[in-house]
């Protein structure tokens, strides 16, 4: 498996193609072999039929021929009588010439025998050999004697239906072999071995033959067989050659395919390399571009934050002015009062001390106001655990005099005392932006009975801070657009349009919360949703 994994795709594909190709070649060569084998078996059947045909025709013809020869012999020269009288000399002399002619006609004729009605041999012409007693034999039969096979044709003869004897012609069985060989052009011989089975394949040197066997005689388990060899060397050669041809062809084609594959892969790999390079280049460029864009964005955010701070600062200065107006008037009144008292020489120690105390109180109030604002503008250095309720109070306090001046009624509904871990000043700034917007709308639209409701609730881990006014609602559509930077309905000097954008960034990015707005009951309602993932202290530890 590990070895398999080591191969490259190219090698794997090549191996697969080669294997598939070899398999196809094997299948084709196998099919061709089947084809040739079918042809061989067809021709085998043909030869088998032909041999059987020649054999039976020859047998019939031979039997008829020699039976007619025997009858002709009996009818001529009164031979019948000589046999009846068992005149052997006469029989021999009279038949000799005829036998000679027959022998010349067919050299396989071995002898001609004469039997009396008892089946005893009277005389014979030709070679001496053994025969069966005609009384116990059929009219034609094969006889096996010491590995010599002979064919016997018996012709009985009668006188007034009384059997007088038999004339027998005996032929060497090779006669049939010769006849079949002549007609079928197959080579053959006679064997006495049982091993020669019909259909067997035998090889002699480089030649291959199919065996066609004919059982001629079967007595006492002795068998003589006539066998013929059908030469299928040519077909076998074709089979062998077909495999080699398929192999050579497949090797040749594999070579071509490998070359094509090799070239194809080379081109493919080159193209891949080119596209990979361009991708890598693009990637590197992209990363660079992203980095540049990110940097730009960070810079922009920083500028926005700065602008927002400046804007808030402007507003705060206005607020300080509001906060200070009253104590400054009071201080001026004290100073005027002291001056007047001095002129009238009515300034006693107790009175002075009282006025001094009042002035001190006023100054410390003013100083506290500055502290409050300074704290607010301190940059966020680190996250702290802070009370949301107290931070809301503090933020409201910054706008207190402004609200008072415009008779804006602030209704607080803080149901929970919740501690949160984060940048307190940023949170305060986000709230301040929303409050300032509400205040601006209420003043700008000269709303009667202006009112801002601010609530703090908690549902499980969800903290909700809702700031609602009765200023008539947001006129920008869709409402969510107000959170985009530089979206403002205010006069150029009055608003930059980044207050809510900053608030959203603070709540959603730095506090992982949610800030959204909707128009409700003749006013706008802003909701801040923060999630307490664990207790603030735990968050701090984390």
Ligand X SMILES: Nc1ncnc2c1ncn2[C@@H]1O[C@H](COP(=O)(O)OP(=O)(O)OP(=O)(O)O)[C@@H](O)[C@H]1O
For residue 491, give both structure tokens: 């006069």
Q: Distance between CA atoms of 448 and 467, rounded to whole angstroms?
A: 18
Q: Distance between CA atoms of 313 and 505, rounded to whole angstroms?
A: 19
Yes or no: say if 523 and 468 are a contact pair by the CB < 8 Å rule: yes
211 binds ligand X (CB under 6 A): no
Please state at what angle helix 424-444 crosses helix 388-398, rounded to 10 degrees: 40
Yes or no: say if 110 and 126 are a contact pair by the CB < 8 Å rule: yes
> Residue 158: CB partners within 8 Å, gap ≥ 6?
164
Binding mask 424-453 for Mg ion (x = CB under 5 A): -------------x----------------
Binding range to ligand X, per CB under 6 A, among 42-50, 71-79, 364-372, 493-501: 493-501
Burial class (CB in 10 A: 0-12, 13-18, 19+), 103: middle
Task: Give 165 or 485: the residue with its C-beta nearer to ligand X.
Answer: 485
Q: Give the footprint of ligand X on residues 510-529 (CB under 6 A).
A: 524
Q: Residues 438, 465, 506, 528: which binds ligand X (CB under 6 A)? A: 438
Q: Distance between CA atoms of 499 and 113, rounded to whole angstroms?
A: 146
Binding range to Mg ion, per CB under 5 A, among 134-142, 268-276, 499-507, 522-530: 499-507
Yes or no: say if 126 and 136 are a contact pair by the CB < 8 Å rule: no
499 binds Mg ion (CB under 5 A): yes
Binding mask 440-479 for ligand X (x = CB under 6 A): -x---------------------------x-x-xx-x---
Task: Give 485 or 499: the residue with its C-beta nearer to Mg ion.
Answer: 499
Task: Give 37 or 309: the residue with its C-beta nearer to ligand X.
Answer: 309
Coarse DSSP helix, strand, coil percentages of the chain, rounded to the nearest 5 percent: 60, 25, 20
Task: Give 62 or 433: the residue with its C-beta nearer to ligand X.
Answer: 433
500 binds ligand X (CB under 6 A): yes
Q: Distance between CA atoms of 280 and 518, rounded to whole angstroms?
A: 47
CB of 478 to ligand X, least distance (A): 12
Q: Give the footprint of ligand X on residues 333-352 (CB under 6 A).
A: none
Task: Give 14 or 436: the residue with its C-beta nearer to Mg ion.
Answer: 436
Q: Give the footprint of ligand X on residues 284-323 (CB under 6 A).
A: 311
Report which secondary-structure segment, H or E, holds 226: strand 222-231
Task: Give 198 or 508: the residue with its C-beta nearer to ligand X.
Answer: 508
Nearest residue to the partner ligand X, using Cβ: 499
Task: Give 285 or 522: the residue with its C-beta nearer to ligand X.
Answer: 522
CB of 379 to Mg ion, least distance (A): 21
What are φ and ψ of residue 67, in 5° steps? Answer: -65, -40
Task: Give 398 or 418: the residue with its C-beta nearer to ligand X.
Answer: 398
Closest CA to 165 of 70, 84, 85, 72: 84
Q: Report the interface residues with ligand X, using CB under 6 A.
A: 311, 433, 437-438, 441, 469, 471, 473-474, 476, 482, 487-490, 495-501, 524
User: In the complex, which residues of this chain contact Mg ion (CB under 5 A)?
Assistant: 437, 499
């Amino acid at each position: 498996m590990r070895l398999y994994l080591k191969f490259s795709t190219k090698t794997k594909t090549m191996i697969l193609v080669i294997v598939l190709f070899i398999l196809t070649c094997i299948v084709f060569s196998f099919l061709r072999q089947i084809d040739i084998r079918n042809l061989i078996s067809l021709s085998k059947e043909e030869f088998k039929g032909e041999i059987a045909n020649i054999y039976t025709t020859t047998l019939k013809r031979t039997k008829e021929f020699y039976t007619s020869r025997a009858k002709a012999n009996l009818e001529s020269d009164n031979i019948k009588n000589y046999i009846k009288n068992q005149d052997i000399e006469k029989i021999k002399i009279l038949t000799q010439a005829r036998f000679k002619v027959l022998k010349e006609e067919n050299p396989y004729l071995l002898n001609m025998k004469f039997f009396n009605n008892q089946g005893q041999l009277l005389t014979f012409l030709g070679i001496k050999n053994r025969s069966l007693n005609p009384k116990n034999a059929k009219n034609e039969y094969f006889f096996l004697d010491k590995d010599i096979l002979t064919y016997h044709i018996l012709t009985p003869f009668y006188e007034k239906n009384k059997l007088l004897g038999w004339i027998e012609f005996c032929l060497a069985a090779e006669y049939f072999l010769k006849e079949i060989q002549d007609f079928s052009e197959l080579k053959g011989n006679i064997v006495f071995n049982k091993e020669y089975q019909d259909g067997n394949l035998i090889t002699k040197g480089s030649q291959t033959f199919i065996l066609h066997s004919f059982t001629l005689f079967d007595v006492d388990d002795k068998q003589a067989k006539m066998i013929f060899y059908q030469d299928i060397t040519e077909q076998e050669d074709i089979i062998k050659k077909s495999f080699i041809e398929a192999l050579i062809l497949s090797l040749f084609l594999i070579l071509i395919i490998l070359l094509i594959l090799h070239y194809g892969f080379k081109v493919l790999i080159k193209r891949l390399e080119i596209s990979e390079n361009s991708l890598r280049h693009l990637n590197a460029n992209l990363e660079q571009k992203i980095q540049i864009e990110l940097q730009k964005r960070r810079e922009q955010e920083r500028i926005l934050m700065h602008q927002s701070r400046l804007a808030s600062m402007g507003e705060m200065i206005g607020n300080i002015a509001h906060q200070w107006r009253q104590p400054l008037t009071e201080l001026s009144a004290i100073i005027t009062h002291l001056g007047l008292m001095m002129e009238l020489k009515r300034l006693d120690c107790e009175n002075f001390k009282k006025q001094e105390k009042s002035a001190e109180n006023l100054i410390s109030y003013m100083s506290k106001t500055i502290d409050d604002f300074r704290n607010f503008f301190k940059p966020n250095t680190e996250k702290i655990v802070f009370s949301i309720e107290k931070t809301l109070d503090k933020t409201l306090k910054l706008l207190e005099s402004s609200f008072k001046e415009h008779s804006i009624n602030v209704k607080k509904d803080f149901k929970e005392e919740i501690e949160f871990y984060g940048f307190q000043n940023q949170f305060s700034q986000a709230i301040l932006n929303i409050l300032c917007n509400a205040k601006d709308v209420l003043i700008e639209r000269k709303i009667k009975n202006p009112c801002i409701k601010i609530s703090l609730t908690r549902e499980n881990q969800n903290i909700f801070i809702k700031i609602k006014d009765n200023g008539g609602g947001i006129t920008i559509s869709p409402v969510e657009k107000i959170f985009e930077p530089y979206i403002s309905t205010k006069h150029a000097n009055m608003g930059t349009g980044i207050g809510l954008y900053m608030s959203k960034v603070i709540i959603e990015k730095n506090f992982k919360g949610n800030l959204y707005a909707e128009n409700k009951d003749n006013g706008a309602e802003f909701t801040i949703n923060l999630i307490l993932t664990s207790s603030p202290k735990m968050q701090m530890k984390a």
